[in-house]
Amino acid sequence: MVNHINEIEKEGYTILKNAIDIDTVNKLKDSILYIDENWEKPNPETTPRLNRESKVVYNPEQKDRIFSKIVLGNNNLKSILTYFLNDKFYKQISSDKPNYILRAMIARSSSSSDLPLHIDSFIPNSGKRPFVMQASIIIDKHDDETGSTVVIPQSHLLDDYAPQDKFNEAIPIYSNPGDIVVWDSRLWHGALSNKSKKSRWALIATFTRWWIKQNYEITSNLPKEIYEDMSDEEKSIIGFCCIPPKNEFERIDIKAGYEVLK
Ligand SMILES: O=C(O)CCC(=O)C(=O)O
Ligand SMILES: [Fe+2]
């Protein structure tokens, strides 16, 4: 993993080729398609413009156990994320285990318009310690026809927001089902439109340091059956070890270990 870590530090992103076997990718795809067909969709009027123009399945980890198992459990991804996002002063969890958390997971298929260049770290900065990292689990082939993710290499350290006039300078990341593309969320990135009739699904998982707010209340909404099936490590990545205590009588420290997991 050292080469991948070096590449992320220098270029802002890396590709883990064949990180997930095709059988598992097909199961993930079946589940994405099932959710897309059968679950209620959020109101398009209150959906942010960028999401409205592409097909998005929100919070798949709340709907099928397979998503947490495969995405949170991938060992190569875990070692990269632990390197970049673990807090070394989080003593309540063993330092070889993740103490970062999932901010959100979506499945996204490119649509007829480009996804403009953006960052997902909310603020740019040029420090050597990222706060937010993203992994795209490639479900369908990403090429010029289906619409690849595009990036501006090394832009994660530019300490600036993504300028809209640089889209044409961004380079495409070609990838195949089962690859995982990992990037520092400060990297200027976007996606090309889908010019084909094929789908272009990817599962986009955003991970953050433990003290950053999650997109949704993913801990309080997680179905009981999914929670009970998870390992302590998976529960901690979902955020169960760093929910703020109600008051000083529940717990003083905002950081907790696996003992809070029931
Ligand atoms: O779909 C892609 O290739 C990129 C998606 C993305 O940047 C995002 O969801 O934040
Ligand atoms: Fe993004």
Q: Whose CA is nearest to atom 3 of ligand 1?
A: 149
What is the average pLDDT across 57-71?
A: 98
CA of 247 to the centre of ligand 1 (A): 38
- pLDDT over 90 at 5, yes or no: yes
228 Cα–ligand 1 center, Å: 31
What digits encode the pLDDT tens for the residues 157-211?
999 999 999 999 999 999 999 999 999 999 999 999 999 999 999 999 999 999 9
Mean residue pLDDT across the chain: 96
Q: Are 181 and 173 in contact (CB under 8 A)?
A: yes
Confidence category of residue 110, pLDDT binned at 50, 70, 90: confident
Residue 225, Cβ neighbours under 10 Å: how many?
A: 8
Q: Which residues' Cβ are closer than 6 Å to ligand 1?
A: 108, 115, 120, 149, 189, 191, 202, 204
91-105 pLDDT, tens digit each: 999 999 999 999 999
pLDDT in tens, 111-149: 889 999 999 999 999 999 999 999 999 999 999 999 999
- Distance in Å, CA 191 to ligand 1 centroid: 6
Whole-number pLDDT of residue 245: 95
CB atoms within 10 A of CB 50: 14
Above 90 in pLDDT, residue 220? yes
pLDDT at 51: 78
Which domains are seen in the chain, by residue range?
2-260 (2.60.120.620)
- The ligand whose atoms approach the alpha carbon of 202 most closely is 1
Residue 106 alpha carbon, nearest atom of ligand 1: 9
Residue 59 pLDDT level (bands cut at 50, 70, 90):
very high
Give the residue ranges of DSSP H helices in the chain. Answer: 2-11, 22-38, 49-52, 65-67, 73, 75-85, 218-221, 224-229, 232-238
pLDDT of residue 49: 74
What SS3 state is found at 150?
A: strand
Check whether 60 has a pLDDT greater than 80: yes
Ligand 1 atom nearest to CA at 202:
1
